[in-house]
Amino acid sequence: MPLLEVCVGDPESLEAAIAGGADRIELCSALEIGGLTPTPGLMALAAAAPVPVYAMVRPRGGGFVFSEPERRAMLADIAAIRTAGLAGVVLGASRPDGTLDRDTLAELADASAGLGLTLHRAFDLVPAIEPAVDLAVDLGFERILTSGRAATATEGLADLARAHAWAAGRLAIMAGSGLSAGNVGTLLARVPLGEVHGSCSAAVGPGDANAQRLGFGESRRRTDADEVRRMKASLLEAG
């Protein structure tokens, strides 16, 4: 059965992902902008999880072309993740033309020695799949999280298949973006991936109206244990 990684951005979502049976956790803050490095407090909670937890290493929203100060911040985040006792890191870096930034990735991967390594969706900006997969293999990444260079994984099926074929078992291609219990079976019928990624989230209440009035809005979605269970059931059915 394919492995399910659930991305979470708050303590309640962390608990729900574990209760629902996630095989691995991607730990972030600010999921509404694609995920940033999680807080020390959230990492401390996640360190007690019974499944592997990989932490996002991303210092800000926006694209993945990073300055030298941002690279130093990412190195410090990796050190903090190691100290917290988490299993791995999720990172990526691009050049202005969308190709992967080998120098930055090599520096970050070297700093992550001994931790698991996931290349995030910076991969979805690359102009050519094959050299990007080869670079990830060369730098020791375990997997690439990708939507197949499309807005959602179901739209990117052709490129997911292409990446999976080119990887040829040298690393895992993990599909993510827009996956749910209702569509993951269709994706896996087309591309036999060994790992998938999702938030397994559900809408939550509107939050504190007074806080929202002052600009402190609350995320409207949160990982739901029942959604995780439904996704696991769909993966079991897909085989």
**Domains observed in the chain:** 3-238 (3.20.20.380)
pLDDT in tens, 106-126: 999 999 999 999 999 999 999
**Other CB atoms within 10 Å distance of the CB of residue 60:** 13
Query: Which residues of the chain are modeled with pLDDT < 70?
Result: 205-219
pLDDT in tens, 187-221: 999 999 999 999 999 888 666 666 665 566 665 78
pLDDT reported for residue 51: 98
- Please tell me the pTM assigned to this model: 0.95
pLDDT reported for residue 204: 80
43, 159, 180, 199, 229 from 226: Cα distances, Å: 24, 30, 12, 12, 5
Cα 71 from Cα 31, distance rounded (Å): 21
